[in-house]
Amino acid sequence: MNKLRLLLLEDLDKEANALITVLQENNYEVIRVRNAEEAEKELKNRFFDIIILDIMIDGKPEGIALAERMIKQEVNIPFLFLTSMQSKAIFEQAKFTNPFSYLLKPHNELELLYALELAIETHFKQENSISFNKNSAVLSPEFLFVKKRKSVVKIEVPAINYIEVQEKYCSLQCDEGSYLIKMSLKKIIELLSNNDFKQVHRNFLVNIKKIKEIYFEDNLIILDSRDKIPFSERYKASFRRDNPIFN
Amino acid sequence: MRGFLFLFLVVNIVFSQKNINEFELLNTISNQICQSSKKDFFCKAFKFYKEKKYDSCYVYSSRALFLVDSQDEKDILNYIQGGSALKKNIFKKASENFSQISDTSSFKSLKLLQLGVLNLNIKKYKTAIEYYSKWERDSLLTKKSLRLRAYRNFGICYMHIKDFEKAKKYFDKEFSLINTIDTLSIIKAKMDLANVYYEQYLDDEAIPLFKESYDLAKLFSDIEMKQFTSQNMAVIEKNRKSYKESVAYYTEFNKWKDSLNNRDRIWELTEKDKQLAVAQKQQEIAVQDEKLKRQKVQRDGLIIGASGLLIFLGGLGFFYKKLQSQNKLITKQKEALNTANKTKDYLFSVVSHDLRSPINTIKNQHVELKEHIANNNLPAIQEVNNKAIAVTESTSHLLNNVLHWSLEQSNQLLFNPQEIALRPTIEHVLYDYRMLVEANNIIIDADLENALINADKESIKIVLRNVLDNAVKYGGKEILVTTGVSSNDYAFIKIKDSGVGVPAEKLKKINSLTNLSIDKIDRSEGVGLGVILCHTLVKKNKGILTFASEPNNGTEVTIELPNTPV
């Protein structure tokens, strides 16, 4: 599990410090910038998981402008607005930066952490997952975002052992635990588009890097984690063709 | 003797018009000349003579005379020019013309006749008699009708020179030539003859002739003849001193005269009548036209008036409508203004009453704190400090309500309904009560079933805070918050306290506030801004807010909100 790295755009030191304290206590790594220019510089240098934008920077709605620029440049990072603006006009302007999540000041610790969850969910279009159910996860091509106590952490996709269909959900099995995603297996395969994950059964998707043994005759796959996965006849042929190493 | 002379003149004129017969010879020669030599002036002069345009004839014949070739031509031209001159009473010129006609010409007798007429006209009776005598030698060449005129004129000439013998002779000659059918000529001839006798005082010869002519005229249709003959008879009777008969004849004469006049007058009258009738008709037509015109004008006026009225009414309607809509708008605005004014008043009263006391409290607490600090009394400082925080908290809460209320009223409150999770929302609100709970030794239990509701998160938080504040303030030591799904359509939040509860009457009032606006609320009734705000916001989220309470058994507030099934 890895900490999430946040970029915080906030011009006021006091508020920035309060936020940084709360976020660091909750297992987030925070890089703070004072204006949009610095923010863009940081974005070029490093990778961030979430960007927190104060809308009004030095009396101008720079936060919104930056969000708009990011969308234009297709910077694929979830962001959330932090604002004390209860003015409709500004709000409506911010609303056009889809996906949109915001946090009104004053806010308490819980609200802030919750807003981060929402930002990730809405960004990957998997609403009401981690914010709604603590066993849920948000899946992106590279990472799996999961809840750890009050905060969100990420797991690299290769760390997933296998994915199993459970009714409406899919259960993602990692060494750290299992997480539910409200998505069909077919959709997950599309989303991951990762050759390491092979379907071996109508209900199972396996990370081939985690396979310990395969018993073709017994229709069984045994993983490093000792999990036993059924191997359906339907998928054997293509599996063999694609992975001659197992023959 | 006027009547007789008058008659002679008439005869003279008749003669000059009647010499066309002799003219045939002249005519033939002229046509021959005209056709053979193509003499323009000659032809024209002759043509005009025939058409009796004597002025033009005179002019052209004098021009033609300069160009004459033959004796015949010259004679003809002289004849027609002379004739024209005679017609125009230029007797001297006529005489010259006729004299120039050669004696050898084939119409010598015509020349003599013309000269005779001419001299008779200029009253040279003896000269006229000379010409007529010359003519009489070859009179057989002349036509009967002309001869008759000539004899008559001859007779008249002799009458003028009082040679009655000769006059009678020629009148007799004339009379012998008269056709018996020609009554008019007979009457005239008899009258002439009678005149001759009468002038010679041969009354016995004259009177029967007059009588005869009178009797003939009586049977004849010519009224003028009747008039003349009766006049003659009257004059004769007068001269005979038979006045009675004379008067009778005069009466007759006058009758004929009148009838002649009458004839003229009747004709005139009928003419006049005709004119009058025409004039009347025209007038009628004019009147009719005028009527039509007036009707048209009237109709046009009516149409114009009607359309004008219509336009006016339309305009009136339009303005009325406009005015009405304006009035409506004004009424609406007035209502809005009233509400705004009431809201403002309410907010002022909140600020002045509800805000002043806590600020005073805080000030006193600070004074107290100062004392405790001076005494270094740490436990007391802690106690006062906690209280101060609590007061500040509630004041800030009040201020928030005021702010939200005014934002809501001015439609500026952020309102963004979306799917939100119920549990985290409540957790977030409860998180803020940690300090308060600690300070007041209160327990807040939460049994939260998660659900998805469709609502605006911030407004739900405001409602929750208000309800919780009330519970903390009045509700005793234990508060239980539960959430869940009550039906397919609604999720609920219940906040139950263990306080003294609300009296039934007040409870009713609180529950009835759903539809009330701020201007209807009496501040003295103790219903605060918070409750109204809660009602307003829950309603805005399409939810239901109910208060339930039993005395001494606490109060339960239920907020129901539209649920989205997971």
User: Above 70 in pLDDT, residue B523?
Assistant: no
Nearest chain B residue to A168 by CA: give it.
Answer: B566
State the burial class of residue B278 (Cβ atoms within 10 Å of its Cβ: 0-12, 13-18, 19+): exposed
How much is the pLDDT for B12?
42
Domains of chain A: 4-123 (3.40.50.2300), 137-246 (2.40.50.1020)
Nearest chain A residue to B564 by CA: give it.
Answer: A128
Distance in angstroms (rounded) separating the CA atoms of residues B214 and B534: 145
Give the tens place of pLDDT for each residue, B162-201.
777 777 777 777 777 776 667 777 777 777 777 777 777 7
Q: Do A110 and B427 count as a contact with CB atoms less than 8 A apart?
A: yes
**Closest residue to A88, CB basis, from B412, B427, B566:** B412
How much is the pLDDT for B517?
60
A 10 A CB-CB count for B427 gives 17
User: Above 60 in pLDDT, residue A87?
Assistant: yes
Average pLDDT over residues A79-104: 76
Average pLDDT over residues A9-23: 92
Distance in angstroms (rounded) separating the CA atoms of residues B1 and B196: 12
Q: What are phi and psi of A153, to 5 degrees?
A: -125, 170
Residue A48 banded pLDDT, cuts 50, 70, 90: very high
How much is the pLDDT for B15?
41
Nearest chain A residue to B451 by CA: give it.
Answer: A132
Comparing B260-274, B414-428, B445-459, B534-548, which segment has the lowest mean pLDDT?
A: B260-274
Mutate which: A80, A81, A86, A109, vs B, most B CBs within 10 A: A86
Per-residue burial over B393-424, b if 16 or more Cβ lie within 10 Å, else e, is: bbbebbebbbebbbbbbeeebbbebeebbbbb
Closest-CA distance, A241 to chain B, in angstroms, reads 41
| CA distances, A34 to each of A112, B15, B167, B244 (Å) | 19, 149, 165, 162
How much is the pLDDT for B6?
37
How much is the pLDDT for B122?
78
Q: What are phi and psi of B453, to 5 degrees?
A: -115, 155
Closest-CA distance, B382 to chain A, in angstroms, reads 24
Q: Do B412 and A131 count as a contact with CB atoms less than 8 A apart?
A: no
Residue B25 banded pLDDT, cuts 50, 70, 90: low
Residue B94 banded pLDDT, cuts 50, 70, 90: confident
User: Above 90 in pLDDT, residue B412?
Assistant: no
CA distance between the termini of chain A: 34
Q: Do A86 and B413 count as a contact with CB atoms less than 8 A apart?
A: yes
A27, two tokens: 């297992």
Mutate which: A22, A90, A98, A108, vs B, most B CBs within 10 A: A108
> Using an 8 Å Cβ cutoff, are B105 and B112 in contact?
no
Closest-CA distance, B308 to chain A, in angstroms, reads 52
Q: Does the structure's ipTM exceed the value 0.85?
A: no
B367, two tokens: 């004074």
Average pLDDT over residues A25-40: 93
> Using an 8 Å Cβ cutoff, are B4 and B195 in contact?
yes
> Using an 8 Å Cβ cutoff, are A239 and A230 in contact?
no
> Using an 8 Å Cβ cutoff, are B47 and B39 in contact?
no
Average pLDDT over residues A32-39: 92
Give the tens place of pLDDT for each residue, B197-250.
777 777 777 778 777 778 877 777 777 777 778 888 888 788 777 788 888 888
Q: What are phi and psi of B551, to 5 degrees?
A: -55, 135
Average pLDDT over residues A193-216: 89
Give the tens place of pLDDT for each residue, A141-171.
889 999 888 889 999 999 999 999 998 889 9
Closest-CA distance, A232 to chain B, in angstroms, reads 32
Domains of chain B: 414-564 (3.30.565.10)
**Closest residue to A131, CB basis, from B421, B432, B566:** B421
Give the tens place of pLDDT for each residue, B125-170.
888 888 877 777 766 666 676 777 777 777 777 877 777 777 777 7
Q: Do B412 and A133 count as a contact with CB atoms less than 8 A apart?
A: no
How much is the pLDDT for B310?
95
- Axis-axis angle for helices B223-239, B183-199 (nearest 10): 20
How much is the pLDDT for B515?
63
How much is the pLDDT for B294?
93
A151, two tokens: 């905060």
Distance in angstroms (rounded) separating the CA atoms of residues B61 and B498: 158
At A188, the amino acid letter reads I
How much is the pLDDT for B321?
94
**Between B364 and B153, the higher pLDDT residue:** B364
Percent of chain B's residues with pLDDT above 70? 88
Residue B333 banded pLDDT, cuts 50, 70, 90: very high
Closest CA to A122 of A98, A103, A143, A144: A98
**Closest residue to B419, CB basis, from A91, A111, A128:** A128
Q: Do B421 and A91 count as a contact with CB atoms less than 8 A apart?
A: no
Comparing A102-111, B21-30, B73-82, B204-213, which segment has the lowest mean pLDDT?
A: B21-30
